Structure 1
Amino acid sequence: MCFDIQNTMSKSNYFSSKSVFGQLISLIDDSIIKKEVKKCESDRYTKRFTTKDHLISMLFCSFSKCTSLREISGAMLGLSGKTSSFQLNHIPKRSTLSDANKKRDVLVFENIYHQLLKQYGGFLSDSRIKDVINKQVKIFDSSTISLFKDIMGCVGRNPKSGKRKGGIKLHTVVNADEMVPSLVWFSEAKTHDHNFLEKLKCDENTIYVFDKGYNDYKAFEHFTAQKTGFVTRIKDNASYISIEKLDIGERIHNGVLEDEIIEIDVKKGKEMSKLRLRKVTFYDLVNKREFEFLTNLFDLRADLIAALYKTRWQIELLFKQLKQNFPLKYFLGDNENAIKIQIYCVLIVNLLLAVVKKKLKRSWAFSNLVSFCKIHLFNYINLMKFLENPEKDWIIDKAETEQLSLIL
């Protein structure tokens, strides 16, 4: 009796004709890239290094957590002969990638991201919140990404070292049932948050949730006029008049301490108008803290107002997820365009991995999923099958090894 020991030991139940990177890239429909390239004319003056090559190179940077252009270029040069599975036509030199990041309009990357969100948004959506509220709940907040070069407006004092710390502020809107950004807007770190409110689209089927850093009474009046709901926290020094104390029913959560109608003054130049809002005071037993919420939603239960604000924590988790798992501490260019391209490519990678995570029946921590893909980026493993049952190969191989050792 003859056994092919080498073939028996090396066979894998999870072999794929595409590398893990190729499988992840294949989640991006090529027609989306072609459509946006044509729309933005991003290949108009390009001879070799096309938008698609540029996109794949920057996605490789995000997946592999590269921290410099030289690292990306060097790592990709080692992929010669392995690029067919993800259709990379031109491996860039450091200078080529640097020029592309500086000159190619970030709009094409932004549009590709939003087209992917349009494609996968429904799949990622969890309708439980919308089923209860019967409206789309959107959370928005900002996060500052520090830069140590004077790329955008600097913040803070001049340090003794002479090196001023600059920053770019990432303002983000997230549908509470999707957990991936639906709108992104960049500003200098010193820009006040409330300037972002004018970017938001108002309609009667939307409720915006945000923290008190965005307090702007003129915006609140505009939301109310457009029948757009909002929930935020009232400022500690807010000036208002209490109009009416509302009854707290027996079925309302016992954390609700007070529910009242208030009136605030809205200044518009020399003119002044009155705006009626609702203030809900809630005691959080877990954090042992009292919160005062401000809203224009008069028909919702008081405890639901508190529950809506609690969903805002999701966007904090998103910012933490992006900063901990992707290369946002190291920027690959000293210009605004390069930074924005890098951030949009990180958002694309975050979206693709969110799709993979959602497809899995087995529960994976997002950080573990990112680490696995980084380690096995160019291994020919069937990603979905392996993630569903990662121990299977080990159990089979161990059993086969024991059988062969007995025979031999």
Structure 2
Amino acid sequence: MDKTTHFFGTSVFGQLISLIDSKIITASAKKHGSDHYVKKFKTKDHLISMLFCSFAKCTSLREVSGAMLGLSGKTKHFQLNHIPKKSTLSDSNKRRDCDVFGEIYNKLLKQYGHYISDSRIKDVINKQVEIIDSSTISLFKDILKCVGRHPKTGKKKGGIKLHATINVDETAPKMVWLTSAATHDHVLLNSLKHNANTIYVFDKGYNDYKAFDKFSQTDTGFVTRIKDNAAYKTLNDCKIEEHIHSGVEKDEIIEVQVKYENNTRPLKLRKVQFYDRNLKRRFEFLTNLFEMRADLIAAIYKLRWQIELLFKQLKQNFPLKYFLGDNENAIKIQIYCALIANLLMTVIQKTLKRKWAFSNLVSFCKIHLFNSTLTHLLF
């Protein structure tokens, strides 16, 4: 039988793995102690195995292990030192701290930030705009009982909610939090860093007057939508300048009451009413940016839809329909590895001379994952 030449040189998968500096993995593993008392299947092997799962779109541990065992003797080109059995991978997904994968993701994002940045928005708004949103990943009711709840209706709200912040001039999440689907969105506002040079943009589901009060005290900007049942008092109607886009219908200074444990204090905010002709919808925005033009407030909020496109891209190309574990840690590892895979593909897309649609690029890599003779078509 003729010997295959597919594995001479570095395969597509090998080149993707080469984007991850081994020093990042080593430092992250040391920080989280993820390789303590581990003889063979180290953090790096675990990461590569789970990335293989993401790129190959495997649906079970048996499929991951079986496919990699079939590559026995041909794994050096993608730096895998130990091929895991199904039981080994299952045990590691349960026992190895998922935070080490989150650490690796954040370090990779910092390393490749300049590849995925687009500074055009900064030419218009001289501040850093960060978008916050969440997406629920549904789970079977018997998985992750700790993240579901039984309301009085008897229905179970199960799942993990992926919260992310993304710089408006970038194409990958900057910070990621994983909570139960039952956790209210506004809790995450307390995790944000306050900075006078930052404007946070988020949907009304995140509304929290206490957080808004802290934003105002630290000169941290925000733009959101006001809730339909919000109670407020109008203090002043601002004049709408003639040069402002006709979509701006109202510009008001309002006062809301912030309830603390021992007292209630007033908070002054700005409410902008805007009619979008394209969507034929009326929006009411809430902000603490008193000096900014009213039409720019509306324009900033529209940037929030960018993160929805990111979640759509992630779900289409690295779908999380099949979970490889029945515990919270395993599922979080799988989610972090999907985010890492998405980031690596984004970096590849940005660096290629040839233009590729993201979905086409992911499909190409899946089909030719272990081919090296075809890499010239891609790179």
The AA in structure 2 aligned to 1:378 is: F
CA distance in 2, matches of 1:156, 1:311: 36
Residue in 1 aligned with 2:73? 81
Secondary structure at the counterpart of residue 124 of structure 1? coil
Q: In 1, Cα distance between the equivalents of 2:56 and 2:182?
A: 31
How much has 1:165 moved relative to structure 2? 5.8
**Counterpart code for 2:147:** G
Task: Provide the C-alpha distance between the structure 1 equivalents of 2:312 and 2:329, rounded to a whole number of angstroms.
Answer: 23
**1:281–1:381: structure 2 CA closer, same or farther, 3 Å change rule?**
farther
Q: Give matches, 1:225-236, under 5 Å.
A: 225-236=217-228
Given residue 268 of structure 2, which amino acid in structure 1 is its aligned partner? R
- Aligned CA distance change for structure 1 residues 150 and 378 (closer, same or farther; 3 Å): closer
How far apart are the structure 2 equivalents of 1:193 and 1:46?
Answer: 37
Confirm or deny that 1:154 pairs with 2:148.
yes
Name the residue aligned to 2:185: 193
- Name the structure 2 match of 1:397: none
Q: 1:285 to 1:16 in 2, by over 3 A?
A: farther
What is the deviation of 1:16? 7.5
Report Cα offsets for 1:171-230 as digits up to 9, x if no partner: 111111112111111111111111111111111011000000011111111100011000
The 8 Å contact of residues 147 and 165 in structure 1, kept in 2 or not, is answered as no
Which protein shows a greater Rg?
A: 1
Deviation (angstroms), 1:156: 5.5
* Equivalent position amino acid for 2:205 in 1: G
Q: Which residue of 2 aligns with 1:242?
A: 234
Q: Which residue of 2 aligns with 1:335?
A: 327
In the alignment, structure 1 residue 72 sits paired with structure 2 residue 64: yes
Q: Distance in 2 between matches of 1:150 and 1:183?
A: 25
Return the letter of the residue paired with 2:94.
Answer: K
The count of corresponding residues between Structure 1 and Structure 2 is 374
Aligned: 1:301 with 2:293? yes
Confirm or deny: 8 A CA contact 2:368 2:374 kept in the other structure.
no
8 Å CA contact 1:155, 1:189 repeated in 2? no
TM-score (norm 1): 0.87
Out of 123, 128, 134, the residue aligned to residue 131 of structure 1 is 123
Change (3 A) 1:159 1:299: closer
Identity of aligned residues (%): 68
Sort the Cα spacing of 1:159 and 1:329 in 2 relative to 1 into closer, same or farther, 3 A. Answer: farther
8 Å CA contact 1:230, 1:297 repeated in 2: yes
Task: Tell me what 1:386 maps to.
Answer: 377
- Counterpart Cα distance in 2 of 1:157 and 1:244: 42
CA 1:381–1:159: 2 relative to 1, 3 Å: farther
Q: In the alignment, is the contact (CA less than 8 A) between 1:24 and 1:352 conserved in 2?
A: yes
Q: Structure 2 unaligned segments of length 5 or more: list them.
A: none
Further displaced range: 112-121 or 247-256? 247-256
In structure 1, what is the Cα distance between the partners aligned to 2:164 and 2:278?
28
> Any unmatched runs of 5+ in structure 1?
1-10, 389-408
Greater alpha carbon shift after TM alignment, 253-262 vs 343-352: 253-262
Q: Give the match for residue 369 of structure 1.
A: 361
Tell me, yes or no, if the aligned pair for 1:158 and 1:164 is still in contact at 8 Å.
no
| Equivalent residues of 2:157, 2:182 under 8 A apart | no
Equivalent position of 2:278 in the other structure? 286
TM (normalized to structure 2)? 0.94
Q: Is the 8 A contact 2:131 2:166 kept in 1?
A: yes
1:22-171 matches, within 5 Å, as 22-148=14-140, 149-151=142-144, 152-155=146-149, 166-171=158-163
Match of 2:258 in 1: 266
* Partners of 2:98 and 2:331 in 1: CA distance: 9
Deviation at 1:31, TM superposition (A): 1.4
1:149-168 CA deviation, whole Å, 9 max, x = no partner?
A: 241332466999xx956211
- Relative distance call for 1:157 and 1:198 in structure 2 (3 A) is closer
Which residue type is aligned with residue 205 of structure 1?
N
**Maintained 8 Å contact 2:158/2:182:** no
CA contact (8 A) 2:161 2:180 kept: yes
Helix, strand or coil for the counterpart of 2:124?
helix
Query: Which secondary structure does the structure 2 equivalent of 1:355 belong to?
Result: helix
Deviations 1:373-401 (A, max 9, x none): 10110011464x5237xxxxxxxxxxxxx
- Structure 2 distance, partners of 1:312, 1:279, is 18
The CA distance in 1 between the partners of 2:52 and 2:62, in whole Å, is: 13
Which residue in the other structure is 1:392 paired with? none
Q: Which letter maps to 2:370? A: F
Q: Deviations over 1:90-120 (max 9, x none)?
A: 1110000000000111121111111101101
